[in-house]
Amino acid sequence: MSLRGAACIVGAFEHPARKAPHISTPQLHAECARAALADAGLTAADVDGYFCAGDAPGFGPMTMAEYLNLDCRHVDTTETGGSAYLVHVAHAAEAIAAGRCDVALVTMAGRPRSEPAVSAFSSAGAFTPPDQPFELPYGPAAINTYAMCAMRHMHEFGTTAEQLAWIRVAASHHAQHNPHAVFRDPVTVADVLASPVVADPLHRLDCCMNTDGGGALVIVKPEIARSLSRPLVTLRGAGEFVKHQSGGRVDLTFSGARESGCAAFAMAGVTPADIAYASVYDSFTITVLIQLEDLGFCEKGRGGAFVADGNLIAGVGRMPVNTDGGGLCNSHPAGRGGMPKIVEAVRQLRGEAHPAVQVPGCALALVHGTGGSLGSRHGSATLILERS
């Protein structure tokens, strides 16, 4: 089923908190829901579909529908880590097209800086994931597994630490205009290279942060969207893919973006050259580089040259990426960066990004997320959104 034109994003909100010691996680979800609905010109009474991932408390959609007092005839709890909310947008469009709901609410929130992270409605710890006894003995963490992707990319394609550093430089240039961003000082390639190596070849400034915070989206059928006063942001293409280690045939040089991006572009009937703005998951600098290649913005192996020399900086380069400062400089709520990625793309398409980073006449935007781990198993999701 093509989802082209099937639904519109009419409400989008990113919570300004980056550390939230005095507010509960359910409250954060509620504040985000309220603000996204207000942005749309709707209320909780209009919602008939609800979407959440593993950051939601208790029994997920049951707990949250009760807490927010929603009457939901459709729920979806697809969990692909930080990319889940991109998948939710696509699944909301499917549900709307199938008549399962008309007004879908997606919420995410978490407080890793204020309380221990708990995967709420997963059964983490209750039984052993099958990969765990073959990996956990060796001390894998987010950074050293992503670092192995970077190391291999450098080996095969000659990618350099300087080229990766440009991704942080671009994020920092954007973040200086975002009053909510955690890191607002522009940095240079030299600053990135001078920061300590955490896991070779990645430096501290190649890494995102983890913050408290959250966000929410309201996705509705086009007839409803046209009755509201917000600029129309319509889904034009979507794709998702789970990449893993394929029974031991490990290839760290590409991601699931190869498949999810291809599917999204095919559905949208556009090419990477048509994209005016891209939100691209930036858990680490290498994540951005590999995804941009896989999405077709440049040839495989040429990502280093593509991201260098300010090419990702709005107003400077050809491909503005993460104009909110991204997970590297702005926010990475609960380690789940997909939500702010979508919110910034909506801002760009509405012309509501900060004037210093707004892409003039932005009509077509791409959002891409990688949830899980680039170096082992991850859920890739791509959205192509248009202003119509």
Partner 1 sequence: MAERLITYELPADAALGLETYHAARRERRLLVPRCRACGEAHWYPRPFCPFCDSGELDWPEAAGEGTVYSFSIMRRAETPYAIAFVTLAEGPTMMANVVGCPPDDIAIGMKVRLDFQDSVAGEPFPVFTPA
Stretch that binds partner 1, among 74-82, 145-153, 186-194, 324-332 (CB under 8 A): 145-153
Counting contacts by CB under 8 A, is residue 139 touching partner 1? yes
What is the CB neighbour count within 10 angstroms for residue 80? 26
Distance CA 145, CA 151 (A): 10
Closest approach, Cβ 46 to partner 1, in A, equals 45
Identify residues 181-200 at the interface with partner 1 (CB under 8 A): 196-200
Helices (H), 232-284: 257-268
Closest approach, Cβ 18 to partner 1, in A, equals 22
Task: Please tell me whether the peptide bond between 112 and the residue prior to it is cis, using omega within 30 degrees of 0.
Answer: no
92-95-100-106 Cα dihedral, nearest 10 degrees: -10
Could you write out the DSSP letters of every residue in 73-93? SEEE---BTBTHHHHHHHHHH
Site string for partner 1, 202-241 (x = CB under 8 A): x---------------------------------------
In the complex with partner 1, the residue whose CB is nearer, 16 or 129, is 129
What is the CB neighbour count within 10 angstroms for residue 92? 31
DSSP code of residue 44: G
In the complex with partner 1, the residue whose CB is nearer, 85 or 284, is 284
Counting contacts by CB under 8 A, is residue 141 touching partner 1? yes
Distance CA 238, CA 87 (A): 8
Treating both helix axes as pointing N-terminal to C-terminal, what angle do 285-295 and 257-268 enclose, rounded to 10 degrees? 50
Closest approach, Cβ 144 to partner 1, in A, equals 4
Closest approach, Cβ 92 to partner 1, in A, equals 32
Identify residues 238-277 at the interface with partner 1 (CB under 8 A): 245, 247-250, 252
Which of 1, 116, 123, 128 is in the footprint of partner 1 by CB under 8 A? 128
What is the dihedral sign for C-alpha 256, 325, 42, 71? positive
Counting contacts by CB under 8 A, is residue 290 touching partner 1? no
In the complex with partner 1, the residue whose CB is nearer, 140 or 186, is 140
Strands of the 378-387 sheet, one edge to the other: 74-76, 49-51, 103-110, 213-220, 8-14, 233-243, 378-387, 364-372, 277-280
Phi and psi angles of residue 217, each rounded to the nearest 5 degrees, phi first: -135, 150
Answer yes or no: are the C-beta atoms of 357 and 177 closer than 8 Å: yes
Which of 35, 147, 208, 276 is in the footprint of partner 1 by CB under 8 A? 147
Counting contacts by CB under 8 A, is residue 151 touching partner 1? yes
Closest approach, Cβ 250 to partner 1, in A, equals 4
Counting contacts by CB under 8 A, is residue 71 touching partner 1? no
Q: Mapping DSSP to helix (H, G, I), strand (E, B) and coil, where does residue 234 land?
A: strand
In the complex with partner 1, the residue whose CB is nearer, 247 or 360, is 247
Which of 1, 116, 123, 133 is in the footprint of partner 1 by CB under 8 A? 133
In the complex with partner 1, the residue whose CB is nearer, 128 or 229, is 128
Q: Mapping DSSP to helix (H, G, I), strand (E, B) and coil, where does residue 240 land?
A: strand
Closest approach, Cβ 134 to partner 1, in A, equals 4
Stretch that binds partner 1, among 110-118, 150-158, 159-167, 277-285 (CB under 8 A): 150-158
Cα Rg of the chain, angstroms: 19
Q: How many residues bind to partner 1 according to rule CB under 8 A?
A: 37
Residues that bind partner 1 (CB under 8 A): 127-128, 130-141, 143-145, 147-149, 151-152, 155, 196-202, 245, 247-250, 252, 376
